[in-house]
Each structure stands twice: as C-alpha cells, then as structure tokens.
Amino acid sequence: MINKKTIVINGFNFSTLEGFYSEIDNVLTKDIDWVTGHNLNAFRDLLRGGFGVYEYDEPIKLIWQDSHKSCLDLNLENNGQTVYQILIEIIKENEHIEFIEN
C-alpha cells in the first residue's frame, strides 16, 4: 500500500468561489513566487501537482472537510450543474487523487 500525502480542503475557510480558489492556493501550492489563476483551468493544473506540495501526478488523498457547507455555498448553477458539482467533477477526473467528501 502506498502511503499517500493527505491534503484537506476546509469548507469553513470559504463561502464563495473566489474564497475556494484562495483555499486551493493555500493547500496545493508552497513556495511559488507567482500568483495562480483563479479559474477552473488553473484549478485543473494545480490538481496535477508540481507546485511545491506534491509532485506531478503523485498519488494523493484529497479530503474536502465540511463539504456539505461548500455544497450549499457554491450552489450557483452553470449549464445545469452547480459550481460545487463542477469542482467535484474536475477533482474526480484525476486518477492519482483519492477523493473523500467529508
């Protein structure tokens, strides 16, 4: 069994999409000297790794703590899906990520 790094997104740290992107910056990047994009494409890129927290495509465990709060906060619809659903879909596209909604 591979010992995966565990990364936690804390739903109580944000209530907006912009706040979510800031939380992602905090948990998925370390020691970078530039600002990440706050959009879905940048989120996809950050999930791949290589930004100081884990290596590119390194297997990780990603836990979205208090996801029930985020589901309510990020409930704006975009093309028939909520923003929350879109973010979850993007996370699940990554085979190297073991994802847990908590």
Q: What is the DSSP string of 10-49?
A: EGGG-SSHHHHHHHHHHHHB-S-SSPPP-SHHHHHHHHH-
Closest among 15, 20, 1, 7 to 97, alpha carbons compared: 7
Q: What is the pTM of this model?
A: 0.93
Residue 11 structural domain: 5-101
pLDDT tens profile 46-89: 999 999 999 999 999 999 999 999 999 999 887 899 999 999 99
pLDDT tens profile 2-22: 689 999 999 999 999 999 999
What CATH number does residue 20 fall under?
3.30.370.10
